[in-house]
Amino acid sequence: MKNKTFFKINIIYFIAMILVALIFVLGYLGLLQNEYISTFLIQIMVMFAIPMLLYTLFVSKNFKQTFKDTGFKKISTRMIGIAILLGIVLYFINNFVAQFFSSLISLFGYENLTKTTTVPFSYELLFREFLLSCVLPGICEEFLHRGIMLFAGKKCGNTRYVLIISSILFGLMHLNINQFFYATILGFLMGYVAIVADSIYPSIIIHFLNNFLNTYFYYGYYLNWPFATLVNDLQALIASNIFVFIIVNTILVCLLIVLYLYLTRSLAKERVRYDVKKIISCLEIDNLPLEQAQAKINQANEILQKSESLKFKNTVTGGGKFSFLSQVFLISSLVLGSLITISTFVWGII
């Protein structure tokens, strides 16, 4: 049964990968140049609506179960706060990773092929950028990768395996060598947080914040927004001396990693605390009829058994092999994404 489910999950993802690749090719050929249409198709249709519909039809049988399977589980206010802090920390970690790999591939003669056009600033433009670059990816990309591939996938067997695979696929789905490296690492870190929290919401918050801060600092530098010019000036000052650059960046990366680990551990503790509170509320059985009291005890046991945070170590290291057909579609997604990603590297060199 688990092999069949994982097989269906991989088919769903393979379909999404083909559709994204098709839109990518149409854009490259000049047949689909409208940014808003392509973003709508990729984000809302390909990464959210179609996978949700297919998963509901062939796996969960109803939308409520689909949301449950894909990690849409309530979190506490404190967990939201920790997720916001993690989003800020991961934004800076992601920046360091992006700069490192961008410098690395440039040594091979790679030049970014992304076309930049100067558009007069307006708040309407900023709102569209906010919606297309922050809100939609934060929800839609997370639903496909952390929701279907990670949460639904880990119910079928090895959590560590699907965490790694979903992270690589997240990097490849960007279909761009310049984004592949940092998106893969960011995907892994967000996936780990999602497992710890036993909910997709923290990864949505982190993804949104990462893109939001990127947009904020990009526009803020030219518009003199608070902190944006300060951060850019500090980066320029640090980069002016190679020794200062190496020392400062090494210290900052170490501090950010320590912060990430500390906040992740805090999130795990808060998940346990939140689940225990729900269990305690279910055990308020004084003066209840026997049948109602037994029902509450059963409900508490169900919460306890389903709490991934209380059995986190077993979940992460759990084993499990998947069927040959599942592997075929999974490898097909990896190969397709890799070919297009490598082709962007080749184009960037020649």
Q: Is residue 21 part of a domain?
A: yes
Question: 280 lies in a domain?
Answer: no
SS3 content of the chain, % helix, strand, coil (to 5): 80, 0, 20
Predicted pLDDT of residue 318: 46
Nearest to 183 by CA among 155, 145, 153, 224: 145
Q: How far apart are CA 49 and CA 166, in angstroms?
A: 19
Residue 97 lies in a domain: yes
Which pLDDT score, from 0 to 100, does residue 276 have? Answer: 76
The answer to whether residue 297 sits within a structural domain is no
Cα 254 to chain center, whole Å?
A: 22
CA–CA separation, 164 vs 184, rounded Å?
Answer: 9
Q: CA gyration radius for the chain?
A: 22
Place of tokens 């769903």: 12
- CB of 24 within 8 A of CB of 46? no
- pLDDT tens, 292-350? 666 766 776 666 555 554 454 444 444 456 677 788 999 999 999 999 999 988 887 87
Whether residue 121 is predicted with pLDDT greater than 70 in this model: the reply is no
Q: Which domain holds residue 252?
A: 2-264+323-349
pLDDT digits (tens, 9 = 90+) for 25-82: 898 888 887 888 898 999 999 999 999 999 999 999 999 999 999 999 999 999 999 9
Tell which wins on pLDDT, 225 or 4: 4
What's the pLDDT at 312?
47
pLDDT in tens, 235-252: 777 767 778 778 888 899
Q: Is residue 81 part of a domain?
A: yes
Question: Could you identify the residue written with the tokens 């805090």?
Answer: 266
Cβ atoms of 2 and 157 within 8 Å: the answer is yes
Q: In the chain, how many domains are there?
A: 1
Classify residue 171: in a domain, yes or no.
yes
Q: What gap in Å lies between CA 249 and CA 239, rounded to an integer?
A: 10
Better pLDDT: 114 or 229: 229
pLDDT one-digit tens code per residue, 310-319:
454 444 444 4
Q: DSSP class of residue 283?
A: T
Q: Which two tokens mark 90? A: 């991961």
Residue 193 in tokens: 């947080």
Position 239 in a domain: yes
In contact, 141 and 48? CB cutoff 8 Å: no
Q: Is the pLDDT of residue 118 over 60?
A: no
290 within a domain of the structure (yes/no) = no
Structure confidence by residue, pLDDT tens digits, 139-173: 999 999 999 999 999 988 788 999 999 999 999 99
What pLDDT score was predicted for residue 301? 66
Query: What's the whole-number mean pLDDT along residues 100-127?
Result: 74
- Rounded distance between C-alpha atoms, residue 213 and residue 209, angstroms: 6
pLDDT at residue 210 tops 80: yes
pLDDT of residue 8: 95
**What tokens appear for 334 in the block?**
């990896």
